[in-house]
Amino acid sequence: MDKCIACGTCAEKCPAKTADAFNEGLAKRKAIYVPYAQAVPLKYAIDKNRCIYFQKGKCRACEKFCPTNAIKFDDQEKDITLNVGSVIITAGFTPFNPDKFDNYQHAKFPNVVTSMEFERILSAGGPFGGHIHRLSDGREPQKIAWLQCVGSRDLNRCDNEYCSSVCCMYAIKESVIAKEHLGPDFKPTIFFMDMRTHGKDFEKYYERAKSQGVRFIRSRVHTITETDTSGTLELVYATESGERVSEQFDMVVLSVGMEPAASAMEAAKTLGIELNNYHFVKTSDMTPVATSREGIFVAGALQGPKDIPQSVVEASAAACSAAVNLASARGSLVKEKTFPAERSVQDDAPRIGVFVCNCGINIGGIADVPAVAAYARELGNVVFTEEPLFACSQDAQEKMVEIIREQKLNRVVVAACTPRTHEPLFQETIRNAGLNPYLFEMANIRNQCTWVHSSEKEKATEKAKDLVRMAVQRAGILEPIPDLSVGVNKSALVIGGGVAGMTAAISLADQGFAATVVEKSSSLGGSARDVQHSWRGEDIQAHLKKLVDRVNSHPHITVLTLAEIVDASGFVGNFETRVKVNTNIHTIQHGVVIVATGGRASVTDEYLYGKHPAVTRWHDLEQNPELLSGASSVVFIQCVGSRDDQRPYCSRLCCTSSVYQAIEIKENHPDTDVFILYRDIRTFGEREVLYKKAREKGVIFIRYSLDKKPVVTGSGDGLDVRVFDPILQKELVIHADRVNLATAIEPSPNEDIAALYKLPVNAEKFFMEAHAKLRPVDFASDGLFVCGIAHYPKSIDESIAQAMAAAGRAATVLARASIQISPLVSQVNSDLCIGCGLCTEICPFGAIIQEDADGKGFRAKNISASCKGCGLCASSCPKKAIDMLHFRDAQILAAVCAAV
């Protein structure tokens, strides 16, 4: 594996083909393969079951042609014993296989594909290069139907009664992307039961899809047949009002759900951890990543169906949990790498060495490498050239170190593959030879030259020469750049003393980091004080009491209540925040900030709320059970102030909460009629089981639409609720003793916090994370994290997971004495600066401030620790007072001028 340079010759020569699982079997791959082009590690592997040598005892073509002798047929499976302090299992899910059910016709009709197959069809890197066509006849489809809940919410045909949580959104996404591919005449249709777009910014995505022409039909398709020999399909379905429709489609995409991966279940069994009814790993709402076995944690879709951001949150939460257990051994098994002292090059004329890599035949087989090297030798300042077979191989690296020393090189150019994968390796090599790593430059003559001009050998050679010339010109004026590191204050400021804030503080304090919790109200607890039970039925108040006690008694936690943040400054590792408590100002130095300012149920003036005593909201009934005594009829109204023009988002918790409460009422007062008026029931994941239970208990669900909202009027002591029932196609009047409203969840006021720490919020004032998918608890600026309802409405288990994730991410900062940051940052020349402030305004990271310069007015000042090196400031500065290290104007222009 160390020898493989991923040139691909083996796969080219391999005679054995097999179905490509990465492309869901829609394409073929060889028996020696990399799963996909960007695979990590980028090393070819032999599929033993398909390899002719392994199956029949002869062939070995790959071995014959491999230029680096990297093929090892005698490699044996080995058992390895690892001694570890903790285990995290994240072995994931398998998409539901619809082939076992003939009603979906996936196995039989070529134009019925699964959503995973459709992902590969859409992908530019997929089997068809992103061109959508029917598998039966290659024709571009004009109409595609997506069928939701295939292998989910289905007890009749499979055992998966849970909702898979992600299929509604991915179906919308696939339909939107397909429309981008196929143009305005393309007609996508999604057949669904409830649209579940309960995540952050999902509802807007759904609305946008509707306006872009995606058709949504609330129905379950019961029959799929082929109408002709070309493979066109006929779908038969019933509309909500009972009308039977048959309609033709070119293709059908089955939105398949999630099942725990078989190998994951096996691993769970080996580890001895408990699974739940659906074979997902069993957890509690209060400890959402802890398995039944101490020291073993779970994260991702193996714990239950969920989307990527929630999986990433749990990943960081599990890492945090493991770190809490192992805190005393932190740093005991990791080592720092050391390098020889750096040689000063400031006073020497450039002595450039150019290494033109052959990369086996990848470069050398197309470009004339000796000619490129000879050309380089003639360039100014070049004193040495060489043509290694593989510049990145271990022996070539060692030789390079020797050559740098012998030839007294002070700049190095490697013409080879791409700096994106290999620059760090070569930088390390020249560091080993005593050179600063930034005295290195690469010319990309493989990925961007010989690989893409393989039939134009002469032109590829010419281009390679040009690229080497550009690199040499630039290398001649590269400068050594010292490492940049900042010290870290090993403590955290946690803003907000609700469940999220307290959990984050405890998770850090248990690792030995100090935390200060700043709470603006007089007591800890936040919005969880109003909620009795989690959706799994666990006691929230008991948990809350434990949390408050632990926070108050923890030696590493300071709690400030009735506290207001009045000023904040600094950057990662080095923040300073001033907090006002009564009339006292506390100045707190801290390394990280965790924002957990929470949210609350909004008030409304709809449905007689505040005007009629029988109209309540959220947990009023639960907290005041006497309100239910003698009530013969209770109506819940969902989406009060959510999913409308004012708040175009789903509040995520309300469906589950109302369904849970409805079940409780039915259990305590079986004779009470309970109605839930809803738009879509969004009991995602295993919460779906509650929805089913509620229906079994006799709770009546009536759907309403935004244009026909229910109307509540006073009627004696009680209320009359008028609602149009779309199934009966007529208006119903329900006499209710109580009407309980699920009002929208909104963020707590947070403008001041957002302004003080320069944190972005979205249109609805929820804090915006750095990346919706991959960085769900980080802010774009380093050292700041978000969790809980401040980020988006979420249930207590999700808040706890996110709080632990924020603590886990924060610990990656706090665990170090200092943080190495990329020294490729911007530099202000204050003699040229006129203090116009454009750079400060334009910097997305708050990395340039304006500072008073002794009576001369303001001058720009770099906060290098926050700088990401983008160079927006440099290109915008009207006085050219800002330059970028390693990407100075002169260095870029040197390459530009050498390009032609």
Partner 1 sequence: MSNKTTVGSVLVVGGGITGMQSAIDLAESGYYVYLVEESPAIGGVMAQLDKTFPTNDCSM
Partner 2 sequence: MEQAEPKIVAFLCNWCAYAGADLAGVSRLQHPSNMRTVRVMCSGRIDPLFVVQALKSGCDGVLVAG
Return the residues of window 101-130 that contact partner 2 according to CB under 8 A: 125
Task: Provide the minimum distance between the beta carbon of 391 and partner 2 in the complex, in angstroms, as a whole number.
Answer: 17
- 655, interface contact from partner 2, partner 1, none, CB < 5-8 Å by kind: none
d(CA 428, CA 411): 14
**Applying CB under 8 A, does 454 fall inside the site for partner 2?**
yes
- Among candidates 440, 439, 443, which has minimal Cα distance to 467? 443
Judged by beta carbon, residue 533 or residue 868, the one nearer partner 1 is 868
**Applying CB under 8 A, does 556 fall inside the site for partner 1?**
no
| Residue 753 CB partners (closer than 8 Å, separation 6+) | 495, 565, 595, 597, 759
- Among positions 853-882, residues that touch partner 2 (CB under 8 A) are 869-872, 874-875
**Applying CB under 8 A, does 679 fall inside the site for partner 1?**
no
Type of residue numbered 486: V
The three-class DSSP label of residue 811 is helix
d(CA 143, CA 140): 9
- 330, interface contact from partner 2, partner 1, none, CB < 5-8 Å by kind: partner 1
Task: Please check whether residue 413 is in contact with residue 441, taking contact to mean a CB–CB distance below 8 angstroms.
Answer: yes
Structure letter (DSSP) for residue 544: H
**Applying CB under 8 A, does 375 fall inside the site for partner 2?**
no
Judged by beta carbon, residue 468 or residue 806, the one nearer partner 2 is 468
Task: Provide the minimum distance between the beta carbon of 598 and partner 1 in the complex, in angstroms, as a whole number.
Answer: 23
- 869, interface contact from partner 2, partner 1, none, CB < 5-8 Å by kind: partner 2
d(CA 109, CA 252): 10
- Among candidates 399, 394, 404, which has minimal Cα distance to 430? 404
**Residue 237, CA distances (Å) to 214, 241, 247, 860 in order:** 18, 11, 8, 66
d(CA 833, CA 836): 8
- 456, interface contact from partner 1, partner 2, none, CB < 5-8 Å by kind: partner 2
Q: x/- string (CB under 8 A) for partner 1, residues 254-293?
A: ---------xx--x--------------------------
Tally of CA atoms within 13 A in the half-sphere of 13 that contains its CB? 14
- 889, interface contact from partner 2, partner 1, none, CB < 5-8 Å by kind: partner 2
**Applying CB under 8 A, does 453 fall inside the site for partner 2?**
yes
Judged by beta carbon, residue 199 or residue 231, the one nearer partner 1 is 199
**Residue 107, CA distances (Å) to 104, 111, 679, 815 in order:** 8, 10, 35, 53
- Among positions 807-846, residues that touch partner 1 (CB under 8 A) are 808-809, 811-812, 815-816
Q: How many binding residues for partner 1 (CB under 8 A)?
A: 81
Contacting partner 1 (CB under 8 A), which of 62, 112, 254, 312? 312
The full DSSP string for 283-345 is --SSSTTB-SSTTEEE-STTSSS--HHHHHHHHHHHHHHHHHHHGGGTTSS------PPPPP-
Task: Provide the minimum distance between the beta carbon of 319 and partner 1 in the complex, in angstroms, as a whole number.
Answer: 4
Residue found under tokens 């409805």? 662
d(CA 435, CA 424): 14
Type of residue numbered 88: I
- 331, interface contact from partner 2, partner 1, none, CB < 5-8 Å by kind: partner 1
Contacting partner 2 (CB under 8 A), which of 180, 398, 456, 696? 456
**Applying CB under 8 A, does 446 fall inside the site for partner 2?**
yes
d(CA 588, CA 574): 10
Q: Give the burial string for 743-764 (b: 16+ CB within 10 Å, else e).
A: bbbbbbebeebbebbebeebeb
Judged by beta carbon, residue 223 or residue 454, the one nearer partner 2 is 454
Burial class for 607, CB neighbours closer than 10 Å (0-12, 13-18, 19+): buried
Contacting partner 2 (CB under 8 A), which of 447, 532, 541, 840? 447
Contacting partner 1 (CB under 8 A), which of 15, 272, 331, 760? 331
Q: How many binding residues for partner 2 (CB under 8 A)?
A: 42
- 449, interface contact from partner 1, partner 2, none, CB < 5-8 Å by kind: partner 2
Contacting partner 2 (CB under 8 A), which of 46, 182, 357, 470? 470
Footprint of partner 2 on this chain (CB under 8 A)?
37-38, 125, 418-421, 444, 446-449, 451-456, 459-460, 462-463, 466-467, 470, 824, 869-872, 874-875, 884, 887, 889, 892-893, 895-897, 899-900
